[in-house]
Amino acid sequence: MTYRPGRHFLQIPGPTNVPDRVLRAIDHATIDHRSGDFAELGRACLDGMKSIFQTLGPVVIFPSSGTGAWEAALVNTLSAGDKVLAFETGHFATLWVKMARNLGLIVDVIPGDWRHGADPARLEERLTADASHEINAVMVVHNETSTGTTSDIPAVRRAIDASRHPALLLVDTISSLACIDYRHQEWGVDVTVGGSQKGLMLPPGLGFNAIGAKAIEASKKSNLPKSFFQWADMLEANAKGFFPYTPSTNLLYGLREALQMLEEEGLPNVFRRHTRLAEATRRAARAWGLEMVPLVCAEYSNSLTALFVPAGFNEAALRALILERFNMSLGAGLGKLAGRAFRIGHLGDFSELMLAGTLAGVEMGLELAGIPHGKGGVDAALQYLVEA
């Protein structure tokens, strides 16, 4: 069948649906990136992103994926042979560790079961034991996209402070930015990493670093090789609204429109909407009797929900069936969760009616796949949404 009636439901945890307003903004004639008109666009995006990260400090925008922003955070603050402490909270935390090692950093990983967030008590213990301050940075993923588990960043900051350790705090917010409350400056984060393709409602292609004063000082001593991702050149050009090399002009048009949409809704309302839709999804999961990947309720993600399929069934087969029958894409199980868990994305440009359709597709898929489940998941979610 070459034509599928209706819209495709893209319910992976990113890239997310791009709203029409953003698509129309991207569909704009390219302009001279050395012109006054571009400087106005650049300033709007650079200043607007400060409000999203909730900081007064600089935010750097790279023409890259979030992976590029990971690299920028590392190469601008650290030197070859530096020691980094990281948590094994899931697939993306593991990939960030792999990158750090590829860059010549020594990474000590606090192991995890992929069902819990970062443990502040273990962090404080490790940093307190490091009396000679050999650890230069701590890497934490705020919202682990592979597991649907959110870590408590303020508690991580308190653990670092309690240990009286000078390590930098580097945080990945790629799947939490503009979805889950995050406060770069108030929480004392030194570098926050973000990407365009999730809560910001854009296609992939923009990577972000929110930078604190301590990180700026560290960047002056860092000796890891860098050119494309060098903060110094970016910050100098950004001061006038420009970039040191050709930027992703049309994605910046889209970013300016997305920032306007988030401002119109109000960031606190954006967070409340994500909380409401996430809880409705969890109500459906409980009615189906499917086990959620995170084991601690306080760590449930408001960006996505990761669910195990029962033993003897494969999540890839379920997702393939749902895609074929209902034209809906769900997130795959990644790494240790491949074949075992699927993910429902409920982030970005997303509403109650879109969630209702998503959950209906999952419930019908469970039935057609012969997966044992309770009835009434959609009803439980809708009842909650009416009450909420």
pLDDT in tens, 80-125: 999 999 999 999 999 999 999 999 999 999 999 999 999 999 999 9
**Statement: residue 1 has pLDDT above 80:** no
Q: Tell me the percentage of the chain whose pLDDT exceeds 90.
A: 98
pLDDT score, position 3 = 85
Q: Residues 260-281: what's their mean pLDDT?
A: 98
Q: Residues 53-81: what's their mean pLDDT?
A: 98
Q: Residues 260-277: what's their mean pLDDT?
A: 98
What is the rounded radius of gyration, in angstroms, for the C-alpha atoms of the chain? 21
Rounded to an integer, what distance in angstroms lies between the CA atom of residue 330 and that of residue 304?
11
What is the per-residue pLDDT across 347-366, written as a single tens digit (0 to 9) for each? 999 999 999 999 999 999 99
**Statement: residue 79 has pLDDT above 90:** yes
CATH superfamily of 9-16+266-387: Aspartate Aminotransferase, domain 1 (3.90.1150.10)
For residue 187 the two structure tokens come to: 């929480």
**Statement: residue 44 has pLDDT above 90:** yes
What is the per-residue pLDDT across 170-196, written as a single tens digit (0 to 9) for each? 999 999 999 999 999 999 999 999 999
Rounded to an integer, what distance in angstroms lies between the CA atom of residue 285 and that of residue 276?
14
Q: How confident is the model at residue 387 (pLDDT cuts 50, 70, 90)?
A: very high
* Burial class (CB within 10 angstroms; exposed 0-12, middle 13-18, buried 19+) of 207: buried
Q: Residues 210-228: what's their mean pLDDT?
A: 98
Does residue 150 contact residue 176 with C-beta atoms inside 8 Å? yes
Instruction: Please give the C-alpha separations between residue 291 and each of 150, 222, 305, in angstroms, as whole numbers.
Output: 17, 45, 10
Query: Residue 24 CA to chain centroid, in angstroms?
Result: 24
Instruction: Assign a CATH topology to domain 20-263.
Output: Aspartate Aminotransferase; domain 2 (3.40.640)
**Statement: residue 312 has pLDDT above 80:** yes
pLDDT score, position 4 = 87
Predicted TM-score (pTM) of the model is 0.97
Domain boundaries, the chain: 9-16+266-387, 20-263
Q: Residues 296-325: what's their mean pLDDT?
A: 98
For residue 218 the two structure tokens come to: 């560290």
Question: For all residues of the chain together, what is the average pLDDT?
Answer: 97
pLDDT score, position 2 = 79
